[in-house]
Amino acid sequence: MKQFTFEAKQKQVLIGAMGLGLLCLVLSFLFEPEQIAEGGFHSRFWSNFLHNAVFFTGMAFMITFVLAAFTTAYSGWHVTFKRLWEGFSLFLVPGLIMMVILGIANYAHLNHLYHWAAEGITDPASPNYDELLAGKSGFLNNNWYLIGTLVFVGGWAFFASKFRKLSVEEDESGHEVSNFAFHRKTRFWAAVFLPIAAFTGPAMIWQWVMSVDAHWYSTLYAWYSMASWFLAACSLTIILLVYLKSKGYFEEVTKEHLHDLGKYMFAFSIFWTYCWFSQYMLIWYGNVGEETIYFRERLDNYPVLFYGNLVINFVLPFLILMRNTTKRRYGTLVFTSLLVFFGHWMDYFYMIKPGTFLTAEEALAHGAAAGEHAEHARGFVSGFTIPGLLELGIFVGFTAFFIYFVFSKLEKAALVPKNDPYLDESLHHEVQAYE
C-alpha cells in the first residue's frame, strides 16, 4: 500500500497552470467586450470568477454528499479510492473563500452579475425599481447571499472535515475493535448531513446561479445543476485515478472500480438529460412568457451553447459508454471523462454567461426591463457567446488549483484506509462483481 508523494515536477506543472489561469483572469478584467465596456462593470472577469468558483465548489459539495450517502447505505466498493474523494470534499474550504469574495463584491457593488443586487431595485421611488424583484427580495438580497454562503458552505466544509478527521483517526487507531466505533460515528454525521445538504444545496444553486436570470425560475433547476456537478466530479475522479495508477499508486483500484465509475457517468448523463428535457419541454409546451425568456435568450443568441450542450453532455457520452466494454478500457474511459468534464464546465458557462451579460446590458441602459435586449440577435460577444482563449486558460488554472489542493491532501494520509471495516469488500470487488 504505497504512500502518495506529491512530486516537485507535478507541483511545478500545476503551479505553472495556475499562473496561466491567474494571468488569463487578470486579462479578462482588462479586456471587457465592447458592447458593455462603457459601463466599467468588468462583467467578463466577475462572470468567469463566478463560473469557476461555483463549478469547483459544487463538485466538492457533491462528492461530500455522495460520501455521506454511500456511508449511510453501507456501501463499500469505493473505499479503495475514498481518500481521493476526501481530498475533493475538502476543497469546500477554498470554495467558501471564493464565494464569500463574491458576496462581499455584491455588497460593495463591485460587479453587476445579479440584477437583483443593483441599487434601487426594491425602492419604489427609484428609477431602477423592479416590482417583480422587490417581491423576491426576501431571498434575493445581499444579506442572504453572503450570510447564507458563510453558514451553509461553512457547514458543508465542517461535515467534510469531520468525515476526513474520523477517517484518518480510524486509520491511525490500530485497534480492529474500534473500527466499527469510528464507522458508526461517521454514519451518524453522514445521516445528519444528508437532509441538511438536500435543502441547502438547492438554496445555494438558486442564489448563486439561477438568480443570474432573476426574473425566471424553474423547480427542476437544482437537480439539473447538481447532476452536472456530480458528472464533472465523477469524470475527474476517473482521470485522476488512471493517472495515479500509471504512477504506481492506487494498485488496489481495479477495472471493476473504474467500470462502476463509468456506469455512474453513463447513468447520470441520462439523468442530466432527463432533467434538461423535462425542464425545456414543460416550458416550451406551456409557452408562458415569463418562463420562456430563459430559453428564448439562449436559442436566439447562444445557439452553439444550446445545441452543443446536448451533443457533448448526452449524445457523445451515451454513444461511447453504451457498450459495456468501453467502460473497461482506460483510453476510451479517460477520453470520455475529459469530454464530460469539459462539457459540464461548458454547461455552467451556458447557465451563467447569458444572464450576466443581460444584467450588464441593463445596468448600462440604466435600468432597462429584463429581456428587452433579447429581442434581437446581438452577434458575437467576446467571452460570452462561447468560451474564448482567456476563459479556457482560466478553466485550466482553476482545474490545476483543484488538483493541487487534492494532491496536497492526498499526501497527508495513507492512500488505502487500512482500518475501514468495508475495505475487504472493496478489495474483492472484482470477485463480487461476477458472483
Mean pLDDT of successive 10-residue stretches along the chain, which has 435 residues: 88 98 97 86 96 98 97 93 97 97 93 89 87 92 94 97 94 67 92 97 96 93 97 98 95 93 96 96 91 93 95 96 92 96 98 94 63 54 94 98 97 90 84 42
Q: What pTM was estimated for this model as a whole?
A: 0.94
CA pair distance 108, 97, nearest whole angstrom = 17
Residue 45 pLDDT: 97
**pLDDT at residue 356, as a whole number:** 95
Note the pLDDT of residue 25: 97
Q: Which residues contact 362 (CB under 8 A, 6 or more apart)?
A: 115, 368, 369, 370, 372, 373
Residue for cell digits 482588462?
Answer: 30
Residue 212, phi then psi, degrees to nearest 5:
-60, -40
User: Which pLDDT does position 421 carry in this prediction?
Assistant: 87
CA distances for 98 relative to 8, 57, 425, angstroms? 27, 9, 38
Please tell me the distance from the alpha carbon of residue 228 to that of residue 205, in angstroms, as a whole number. Answer: 12
Distance, CA of 210 to CA of 173 (rounded, Å): 45
What span, in angstroms and rounded, lies between the C-alpha atoms of 388 and 419?
Answer: 48
pLDDT at 373: 43
Per residue in 318-368, pLDDT (tens digit) is 999 999 899 999 999 999 999 999 999 999 999 999 999 999 988 887 544
pLDDT value for 123? 87
Write down the pLDDT at residue 175: 58
